[in-house]
Structure 1
Amino acid sequence: MRSRTPARGPELTELGLGAAQLGNLGREISDTDARGAVDAAWDSGVRHFDTAPHYGLGLSERRLGAALARRPRTGFTVSTKVGRLLEPSPATAHRRDDGGFAVPAAFRRVWDFSRDGILRSLEGSLDRLDLDHVDVVYLHDPDDHWEQASTTGVDALVELRDQGVVKAVGAGMNQAAMLAEFVRRTDVDLVMVAGRHTLLDQSARDELLPLARERGVGVVAAAVYNSGLLAARRPPADATYDYLPAPRELTARAAALADVCERHGVTLPQAAIAYPLRHPAVVSVVLGARDARQSRTNAERLATPVPEALWAELADLGLVPDAPGAPGAAPAPREGT
């Protein structure tokens, strides 16, 4: 597994394991499958793991921490997120969580980007992960909280970074415009952009990616399958896009992308993973997995060479704006440990 080192922040393997599914995203998975996903990712060379309190009301962090407990702490990078405090809610513990995770609603999420809220959130994450530190902390989905997140939120994270508590700080969102504002106006090291730098949505290329490149801010690309539409060789009839039924025009475009991929001996998911990594601002792609098989599949897809002729044809057909980067334009990769 190859790694890239951003100008500001820790070395990251080109593939990271996103742990939302370890929090029972959409449906329950067993502890055995959750551990299997982490173990198989590790065996494939993955050393970059991303989680959040939001994912399963802490379940993702607990499962990830347990799976990493016997690994050498200096051998991997963990990122988590702040902005949603978990407050005990015994009155709703008999209900199902309404945040998209198949877990009991024993906690409620409270938006809080204050200094105290961030410190409390990180303390809770460290306890659930059973770690003495995490490497990267992101402000999580501050779409409706720009004023607080960009001031007290960033200031608290920078304070932690300057104290050596964390190595890098940033923001993670499902949009590119506000992330560009974080890069432009605040002292962040990394941003995680979900679903906006993919074969189907290149909106991060307009401003965020060039600005990040200019400012030396690393970009982690998440949700590169757009929640499912790019996850199979051919888009299924019931495919989702951004967790909703995929619009007909996007399904047709995904099918056209798959046609080109097939002509070049590449699958659509393989191209979906390779595409973001071609841009010189991108330092890692984060993919979720529910079990060992999915983790192994992710690593195999990353390892598959994608010919330059594929990108050229996609550009010629107008399916992508242009080839997202020239070979060798990205930061020089290093072999992971």
Structure 2
Amino acid sequence: MRSRTPARGPRLTKLGLGAAQLGNLGREVSDQDAQGAVDAAWDSGVRYFDTAPHYGLGLSERRLGAALARRPRAEFTVSTKVGRLLVPSPGTAHRQDDGGFAVPAAFRRDWDFSRDGVLRSLEGSLTRLGLDHVDVVYLHDPDDHWEQASTTGVDALVELRDQGVVKAVGAGMNQAAMLAEFVRRTDVDLVMVAGRHTLLDQSARRELLPLALERGVGVVAAAVYNSGLLAADRPPADATYDYLPASRELTARAAALADVCERHGVTLPEAAVAHPLRHPAVVSVVLGARDARQSRTNAERLAADVPEALWTELADLGLLPDGGPGTPPAAPTPRERS
């Protein structure tokens, strides 16, 4: 599998494995299936793995660490996130977590982007992962915490990077506007944008992607299926968009995209994976998987041959502006190699 090396940060395979589902996102996943998802991703050439304490209250990190334990550490890249401290909560351990994960609520999530909070969070992540270091650390969903995250949060991460503890730092969010502010105002190396650089939502194109390219900041695209609407060859009637029931308008637009894809011998999910990587600021697409079959499917979708004529027709029909991401003016682009 080819990889891209951003101007600032470690080498990332074009496909990364997002480990939220290893934390029982939405429903339970067995230890065996979680291991199978990582093993199949590895066998497909994936060497970038993303997780967070938030995912299953640490379960995702524990499972990912266990699955990678026998792999050569120099051969893979791991990113995790800070901003939500896991605080033991024995009084609620009998309940189900209310954060979207099928796990006991044995911990609570406390927002904390202070220097101490960042250091404590990373220390906990390393323990759960069983690693002596991670490669990338993102500030996680700081939407309501800009002031602290953009000062003490970023400063703590930059300190860790300057000390050689981590290789790259950044922020990961479900919006593009604040990520653009991080790129503009702070010393970040990477940003992870979820759901805002997809076939159905190109809001990251307006400012974030051009600014990232100009500043040499790599972009990791996540949630490229918008949580489900773009995940099947034809959008089902009960499809979700950003984890809520998809509107009629969005479902109709996804169906129109699928029509064009079929005419070009491409599936809708294959186009959804290919679309973000057309922009030179994007260094990797992160896809989730809950078992080996889904990991293999992710790799097959990345490898699909998507003709340029598809993007031209989508532009002609007004389904994508300017034929998709297009090619910005000449600027340094990520280095790509096998």
Spell out, residue by residue over 1:25-72, the C-alpha distance to the aligned partner (whole angstroms, 9 max, x if none): 000010000000000000000000000000000000000000000000
Spell out, residue by residue over 1:180-217, the C-alpha distance to the aligned partner (whole angstroms, 9 max, x if none): 00000000000000000000000000000000000000
Displacement of 1:305 after TM fit? 1.0
Q: In the aligned structure 2, how far is the partner of 1:83 from the partner of 1:182? A: 15
Q: In the aligned structure 1, how far is the partner of 2:247 from the partner of 2:159? A: 44
Tell me the SS of whatever aligns to 1:70. Answer: coil
Q: In the aligned structure 1, how far is the partner of 2:331 from the partner of 2:252? A: 31
Tell me the SS of whatever aligns to 2:79. Answer: strand
TM-score (norm 2): 0.97
TM-score (norm 1): 0.98
Stretches of structure 2 lacking an aligned partner (at least 5 in a row):
none
Q: In the aligned structure 2, how far is the partner of 1:14 from the partner of 1:256? A: 27
Tell me the SS of whatever aligns to 2:108. Answer: strand
Equivalent residue number for residue 326 of structure 1: 327
Spell out, residue by residue over 1:200-246, the C-alpha distance to the aligned partner (whole angstroms, 9 max, x if none): 00000000000000000000000000000000000000000000000
Tell me the SS of whatever aligns to 1:80. Answer: strand
Is the deviation greater in 17-26 or in 323-332?
A: 323-332
Q: In the aligned structure 2, how far is the partner of 1:165 from the partner of 1:48? A: 18
Tell me the SS of whatever aligns to 1:298. Answer: helix
Q: In the aligned structure 2, how far is the partner of 1:326 from the partner of 1:267? A: 23
Check whether the contact 1:190–1:217 (CA below 8 A) recurs between aligned residues.
yes
Q: In the aligned structure 1, how far is the partner of 2:240 from the partner of 2:130? A: 35
Q: In the aligned structure 2, how far is the partner of 1:160 from the partner of 1:288? A: 28
Tell me the SS of whatever aligns to 2:321. Answer: coil
Displacement of 1:335 after TM fit? 7.2
Check whether the contact 1:83–1:112 (CA below 8 A) recurs between aligned residues.
yes
Note closer, same or farther for the CA distance 1:228–1:4 as it changes in structure 2 (3 Å cut): same
Displacement of 1:336 after TM fit? 6.6
Displacement of 1:325 after TM fit? 2.7
Spell out, residue by residue over 1:232-270, the C-alpha distance to the aligned partner (whole angstroms, 9 max, x if none): 000000000000000110000000000000000000000
Check whether the contact 1:13–1:336 (CA below 8 A) recurs between aligned residues.
no
Q: In the aligned structure 1, how far is the partner of 2:240 from the partner of 2:273? A: 17
Check whether the contact 2:229–2:239 (CA below 8 A) recurs between aligned residues.
yes
Note closer, same or farther for the CA distance 1:329–1:253 as it changes in structure 2 (3 Å cut): farther
Q: In the aligned structure 2, how far is the partner of 1:31 from the partner of 1:327? A: 44
Displacement of 1:332 after TM fit? 6.9
Q: In the aligned structure 2, how far is the partner of 1:283 from the partner of 1:16? A: 10
Check whether the contact 1:177–1:207 (CA below 8 A) recurs between aligned residues.
yes
Does 2:267 align with 1:263? no
Note closer, same or farther for the CA distance 1:138–1:222 as it changes in structure 2 (3 Å cut): same
Check whether the contact 1:3–1:333 (CA below 8 A) recurs between aligned residues.
no
Note closer, same or farther for the CA distance 1:157–1:327 as it changes in structure 2 (3 Å cut): closer
Displacement of 1:334 after TM fit? 6.8
Note closer, same or farther for the CA distance 1:115–1:332 as it changes in structure 2 (3 Å cut): closer
Displacement of 1:324 after TM fit? 1.3
Equivalent residue number for residue 193 of structure 2: 193
Displacement of 1:301 after TM fit? 0.4
Q: What percent of counterpart residues are identical?
A: 91
Displacement of 1:333 after TM fit? 7.2
Q: Report runs of 4+ in structure 1 exceeding 6 Å deviation.
A: 327-337
Q: In the aligned structure 1, how far is the partner of 2:254 from the partner of 2:202? A: 14
Check whether the contact 1:274–1:302 (CA below 8 A) recurs between aligned residues.
yes
Displacement of 1:326 after TM fit? 4.6
Note closer, same or farther for the CA distance 1:215–1:326 as it changes in structure 2 (3 Å cut): closer
Displacement of 1:331 after TM fit? 7.3
Residues paired across the two proteins, number = 337
Displacement of 1:327 after TM fit? 11
Stretches of structure 1 lacking an aligned partner (at least 5 in a row):
none
Note closer, same or farther for the CA distance 1:330–1:318 as it changes in structure 2 (3 Å cut): farther
Q: CA RMSD in A?
A: 1.6
